[in-house]
Amino acid sequence: MKKIGIICKTGIPEPPEILKELLPWLKQKGHETHVDIETASILNIEGVQRSQIPSLSDVIIVLGGDGTMLNVCRLVGDKGIPILGINMGSLGFITEVPLDKRYDAVEKMLAGKCPVEERLMLSAHILRHGESIGEYVVLNDVVVNKGALARIIDLEVYINHTYVTSLNADGLIISTPTGSTAYSLAAGGPILYPTLNSIVLTPICPHTLTNRPIVLPDDVIIEIVLKSPREDVFLTLDGQVGFSLRQDDVIEVNKSPFKAKILIHCKKDYFQILRTKLKWGER
């Protein structure tokens, strides 16, 4: 791991301050670094466009939160580059390394002692009149939801091209195990262990209360057809990318052919994260 990419959360002062010490430390150890151009400009050093960092790196360090990690996982795509997330904010589910353990975690990463967790990702295709108008890869979730002032929307759900149900709801979440602790959890979905090979369908405020979340194997093809005539219905991907939908648009979701490779700090305890983040056991 000689070539190290570094991508930071923007708009906060901590990452550039950390890099003032981390970059010389890595250089002293003989490593080549590539810093995203936004952060590099603050440090007055040469930077690289974020989109170019995966092709220049053997590993990527993320200084930020879960949102930054989601962005980088989509950016890496099919390149299979491992990612180490160092948490800069509140406790994260995928940026698990606390700030005060950053050097210990990076040392273990450079020594090849950090295990890699492979996380399921999803591919989402949007079809309009039978033609593809968009293709995305996500780590957390694909969400169809209504605008702020819209009424409930009508969706048809198919699995492996077989009709499942018509859904009247505020929307529908298609989630990976990693994303099961995000929007899906808030909508009443189950928590899945992050390395499972499963997909969760979670309705958002369904009109019929018997429409409940369902866990599916990861080898299915899920098709969601928007039947509502209104144009204030949106597709959101990892909560970061938005796409306006029209009546009869089809959202086809299936397992991505590649997985996110997340480097795990050796003392990781997922259940401790759940206890801390979700306040389990507190009275």
Examine residue 283 and state whether it is found in any structural domain, yes or no: no
The pTM (predicted TM-score) of the whole model is: 0.91
Position 268 pLDDT exceeds 90: no
CATH code, domain with 181: 2.60.200.30
pLDDT of residue 167: 94
Token couple for 233: 């219905």
Could you tell me which residues are beta bridge partners of residue 172?
144, 203
| Tens of pLDDT, residues 132-152 | 999 999 999 999 998 877 788
Q: 36, 58, 66, 141: which one is catalytic?
A: 66
| Domain boundaries, position 269 | 3-119+259-278
Distance CA 237, CA 119 (A): 16
Give yes or no: residues 132 and 106 share one domain: no
pLDDT digits 0-9 by tens, 13-45: 999 999 999 999 999 999 999 999 999 999 999
Catalytic annotation present for 104: no
Number of domains in the chain: 2
Residue type, 72: V
Residue with the larger pLDDT of the pair 192 and 241: 192
In-domain check, residue 96: yes
14-28 and 102-110 helices, crossing angle to 10°: 40
Asked if the model's pLDDT at residue 270 lies above 90, the reply is no
Kindly state whether residues 140 and 201 are assigned to the same domain: yes
Q: What is the pLDDT of residues 197-235, one digit of tens each?
A: 999 999 999 998 889 999 999 999 999 999 998 778 999
Q: Tell me, yes or no, whether 185 and 268 share the same domain.
A: no
pLDDT of residue 91: 61
- Position 176 in a domain: yes
Q: Torsions phi, psi of 77, nearest 5?
A: 55, -125
Q: Which pLDDT value is given to residue 97?
A: 86
Report CA-CA distances (Å) from 66 to 58, 156, 178, 253, 265. 21, 31, 11, 22, 16
Q: What is the pLDDT of residues 53-90, one digit of tens each?
A: 999 999 999 999 999 999 999 999 888 899 999 998 66
